[in-house]
Each structure stands twice: as C-alpha cells, then as structure tokens.
A and B are shown apart, each in its own frame.
Chain A
C-alpha cells in the first residue's frame, strides 16, 4: 500500500511546493521591487482577463491531476485480491481482537508475509479506527457495520497498530501490532495454536494477558486510580455495587471476579462508569482461572 500512497503524495507535494514557491517568490519580489521608496507613483492597474483565465485554468488542470492520482491509487488500495487471507477484527474500548478462519482469537494480528490479508472490521462499542502507519492504511471500526481493509506485509517483522479515531481515555494505549511471519512459520503457528493440548500445557502469562487485553488501560496494579478500580488488594475488598439500579454491599471473591470479567454490566462498583466490555469470548477458562489466582496474590 505504501507505494500507492507515496506515489500520490509525491505528485501532490511537487505541485504544492512549486505553487508555494511561486506565491512566496512573487509576494516578496513585488513588495521589494515596487516599494514606495523606489516606486512612489503607482500605476492603477485593475486587472487582466488573460491572467485571470491563466490562473483559473492552469490550477484547474493541476488539481484534476492530483485528484486523479489520489483516486486511482485509492481504488487499487480498495480492491481486495481474491486469495486474501481473511481475519475478523473486533475493536472495543480499548483493545483489539483478531479472529482467524478457524475461530481462534489473538490480541496481536498474526499474518503470513507476502500474502494479502483482508480484515473484516467491526466495533463492539464506540468508533475506533485501525491504523497501520507502516502500510499507510486505516479504516474506521463502526458499531453495527462491517468495514474492510487489506494489505500485504512486505517482509516478516512487527508493525504497530494504532487506533486513530478518538474513543475515550484509553485511546492512546489502544496499541497492538501486526506480526508477519514467513509462510512456513505461519503455517506452523496456524496449525498448532488451535491444538488445545499444546495451548493447555503452556502456563498463561497473566501480566502479558492483562496488558494485551487492555485491562491495564483502566486498572492499575499499584493501587493508583484510572478509569476502573485498581487491581491491587482487590480480593477480599468490601465494596458497594449498583446492580440494576439498586445499591448492595459485597466482598470481592472468586465468583464476583469471574462475573465482573464475563458480565461487567451486572454489578457496577459505585462511583465508576458502566463502560467495561465483556471478555466472555476473549479468554479461555484456563486463562480466567490464572487471572483470578493472580489477583488473589496481588496484595
């Protein structure tokens, strides 16, 4: 994609710099050449039709050229090759979730380098925008609507993903990455990730999980306050929650922690907002259990 954007950019920049140079040069030149000291007696010239026509027609042609480069390159950027690898993207406050054809989900986008990848994007809550600066592409994630974007990662490596449509306090930390692998590495990864055994053996790395799912955008682990209550010392804490409009007091235990991750809108801790998304389809049972154990220890 980069070359498409760059080509249009180059054409526009050359024209723009030429025009800016021309305008600035004549502005300074005429002001100096016809300064009062040198030219005390002005000549009253009120216009020139040939000149007006020139600076209407020439810029009109130039803007058409710029429009054309912009449009043609855009069209190429929008035409998805047929054999593209499809990934469904879900944006939410404030994390990304990528779902592969076999139903497996990740928080970083794993792709084969050199193969076109088509993203089918939706949002669960507010507007977001998936932006990969390295490929110079972006497209909004809109609730209730599927948008799309495609790219080919030129070489194996990591490329940052930003959210470029303002979406609240976590906007600037809604960062992920594209991990492009060789075809061989990718197919190995793609075949083993779904293997419950292989995944089952690995111990979930909880701090990494919390970071990748955006939990830490709102909940700190050091007791300081962000959008949500801090994780530090949360287990066993006595809190007041609002459930369906009614206040009630409870003590944080395993069941409460589980329910707040899966159904966050059920009980809202008093004084906080009802904005947390559900992680029902995002975390495995094993991961949930590991997170709850981790929170128990976080005194």
Chain B
C-alpha cells in the first residue's frame, strides 16, 4: 500500500495543496465542504422562514425580507446544494475508484468546475450586500415580476449562469471518464449502479443546462436593455420564459434524484450480503427516467394559460415516468429477499429515504393528474411534495451516502448509536415539518405567503415545531460525523463488506487509487471479489 492521498501535497503548502490540486479525491472533498457550507446557510434561512410563518402577520421580518428569504433558500438549496451535491462530492471522489481509474479524464477541468462553483456561490451571496438587495422573485425568477423588481435579480441570474457551466463541465468530464477510463474487463454491465446513475445524470447536465444558460442570459438582457423577450407590450411572452425555465429545471430534478437512487441501489445489496435484484432493470429504468425527464416540463404549467391539449400530453408523459421510478423501488426491496440483512446506519438512512421518497413520488401523482393539479398547484401541497422528494429523497440519500462512504474517505468510523439517534430524530422532525404542508395545501394555502388567514394557523404552527426537531437531528448527525474525523476509530478498508472496487483499496485511498489497474472479471455486486 502506498501513502494515502492526504500525505501527498504535490509540493504545495496548507490550503493551496487543496484548492490547486487536480486530484479527484481532493476536489471531491473540496466540493463536499463547499456543498455542506451552502446547505448550512440554506437550512438557517429555512428555519427563519418557518419562524416567520409560525403565526399570522409579522413575526420576525417584513414582507420584502421574507420574500428574499424564500428566494435565497430556493436558489442556494437547488443550485448550490442539491444539484451539485451528490455528483460533485461523492461522485468526484468515487467515480474513478469504482471503475478502476486513477483520476477523471480531465483533472484540470475538474478543478476549474470547482472554482466556477465557488465563484458562482460567492456571486449569489454577494447579492445580499450589493445595492438593490437580495432577489425577491422566488427561485423560479418568473418575469414580468423579475424584470420589474429593483432587487438584484441579474446578480442571481449570473450566479446560476456560472454554476451552470460548472455543472456542464462536470457532466462532460464524467461522460468521458466513463467511456474512456474503465478498467479492462469492466463492461458496461459490470459497472456499479452508482456509476450508472452518474452517467445518466451527466448527460442531463450536459444537454439541459445550456437551456438554462440561454434563458438566464435573456433575462439579464431584458433587465439591462429592455429587450422585451418576455414583455407582451413589446411582442414578447411571459409564458416563453416558463417553458424555457422548466425545459431545464424539470430535467434538473433528475440530476438531483438519479445519483441519490444510485446510492441506495448499492447500499441495499451491500447490507443484504447479496447481489442486487434486477441489475439491468435498475440500469434501464435510470436511463429511461433521464430520457423521459426531458419531455415532462409542462406539468409545471397546467394553470399557466397553456393549451388544454398540451396539458393532457404533459400529464400523460409525467405519469409514464412514475413507472421506472417504481421499478427501482421494487427492486431495492426485492434485493433483501433471502438476503442476510444487517441494519447498520447507512441502511437505516436508506430505509428512511425509501419511505419519504415514496411519499414524495406518490403525491407527485396528485400533481401529475390535471384535475387535481388545478387545485393544489401553487399551494403548500407542492412545497410539501418537493421537499419529500428533494430533501426526504435526494437529501436523505446524500446523508445515506455520507454514512456509507465517509469511513472510506477519512479512514475513520463514526459512532453508530449517535447516527441511529440522529436518523430517528431527523425522520420524526421531517414528517412533523412537512406533512402539515400537504394539509395546508389541500386546504388552499398558497405558497410564498408571508401572511395567512387564521384558519391556516394550526398546521403552520406544528410545521414550525417540526423544523426545530429536524434541526436538532441535523446537529446530532453532523457533530457525530465531524467528531469521527478526529476521534473516530480506524475504519479499516472494508467496514461494510462492500464488493465494488473502492472497498478493495485502503482507507483513505492511496494517491494513485490503484497500484496496478485491476482486471475486472465479475459483476459489481458479485460476492466473489476481483483480484487486485
């Protein structure tokens, strides 16, 4: 075993050995820290929003400040946490390890995309301090309001524009890496499922993100020069923005959820000590989700004034996407059949994921049916639904992935009891926080509401209490994980008895990943291991 990658500083000192490094493992960790930093900011803003909504009328801030809070919460959580989250941090670290490569195809491009991400993040945060103040449009940036408001919408759009390039570069890098750098013998169907979802995701990043870039550019031009693309008085059309925005932003949902599914697809077999059930079904369902995901964007627009026929078509295709998502869930569960299941923290988090994501996915069917959508669109029902999919889904999968892979990244193990407690507290807090929002939405409370009539008070109050429980869970979880970095016991090379390649190198992995590039002779979850 060579020295681990923390030892090799490539001749640079201190922080420079990180922010100038082209090692995919270091970049993965850089992303991890940055992503968690933005997550923390997003959480604090979210807690403030819940505090404001605890009672009707003004509670802590005024209407404009509240509008900025939910806008920043959305922008930060979506563009700087969930979209880059899993692929850029865990993906960067583990993709080359999983396919038996020494690094990604373009290491310097990889570093550039991290830098773009950081610059974009700072740009987004800077809007708070620049004249005009933070944006107050909601993360959807719908014109004409986003053109009329004097707040810093252009700065925000610029930030999303830059982070888009970071995302495209990561996508390009991963696609090339997977095509060109797989170890000899690793055929497409011997590829681990996490790698497969990174592959599907990368294509979505490369193909859909340019649409967002163009849309944001048009918005900036419209604000700066009054070009009138979205202004009916000048022959433009506000609906065009909605179409363009969702042509990116719906596929982006799959950028968030596919890698999450990839994480779960590996954990269930590992902790059942058997191969995954329906490997090919999981692969093809992932690919078809990524493909169908491009043509469902109109489901965000059933009440926008779009034609009824469009609504029908978009509703139909949206329902179709539910089928492959279901296939994945069924295969995960079937994987445990006749296995030898040991519920360690990663599996516990995966179970929480499956339950919460199922609620998110199934309530998505209420949104997809046109008749019911007309009632719940633009209400708290939507807020509840996407927090169940994006936080209960993608977010919990990210936590799952962290518990599974952090011991490999740091070489140290966290405390099991604390992480089990954290998982239970998170799960309870999550449901108390978000479930009342389904009820509020069905009662008719619109989203992005600063103030509300008294009939909505009860559920809002309960929801705010839930936000504190959830925050406590996050605190326990992160303290436990952070503590493991310093005080954790040595994890060993393969604490979970995993079968994919990354578990066959030392923890933390050596600088070059593999002394000798392995030769692959088995499927990824076969219990007989490859010989390194």
Contacts and interface: CB of A to CB of B under 8 A. Distances in A.
A144 B319 contact: no
A33 to B, nearest CB: 9
Interface stretch (B17-25, B85-93, B309-317, B403-411): B309-317
A162 B275 CA distance: 53
A165 interface: yes
Nearest to A169: B63
B372 A8 contact: yes
Given A8-B372, A30-B333, A142-B304, A171 B449 contact: yes
A9 B273 CA distance: 41
B374 A137 contact: yes
Given A12-B369, A39-B339, A46-B275, A143 B144 contact: yes
B148 to A, nearest CB: 6
B149 A142 contact: no
Contacts of B275: 44-46
Interface string B155-170: 0000000000000000
B377 interface: yes
A16 interface: yes
Contacts of B180: none
Contacts of A48: 277-278, 334
A55 B362 contact: no
Given A5-B371, A8-B371, A31-B343, A63 B322 contact: yes
Interface residues of B, number: 88
Interface size class of A (residues with CB under 8 A): 35 or more
Contacts of A7: 371
Contact of A63 (B63, B277, B319, B372): B319
A60 interface: yes
A70 B372 contact: yes
A126 B148 contact: yes
8 contacts: A23-B333, A36-B341, A44-B275, A46-B277, A47-B331, A66-B369, A171-B450, A175-B453
Interface of A: 4-5, 7-9, 12-13, 15-16, 19-20, 23-24, 26-27, 30-31, 34-36, 39-48, 51-52, 55-56, 59-60, 63-64, 66-67, 69-75, 77-78, 125-127, 129, 131, 133-134, 136-140, 142-145, 147, 160, 162-173, 175, 226-227, 273, 275
Given A63-B323, A71-B369, A127-B142, 17 more contacts: A8-B371, A23-B329, A26-B333, A31-B341, A31-B351, A44-B275, A45-B274, A46-B277, A56-B327, A71-B312, A126-B142, A126-B148, A129-B303, A139-B303, A143-B232, A169-B450, A171-B448
**Closest CB pairs A-B (n = 9):** A144-B232, A133-B444, A70-B369, A164-B378, A73-B371, A74-B370, A136-B375, A16-B362, A30-B336
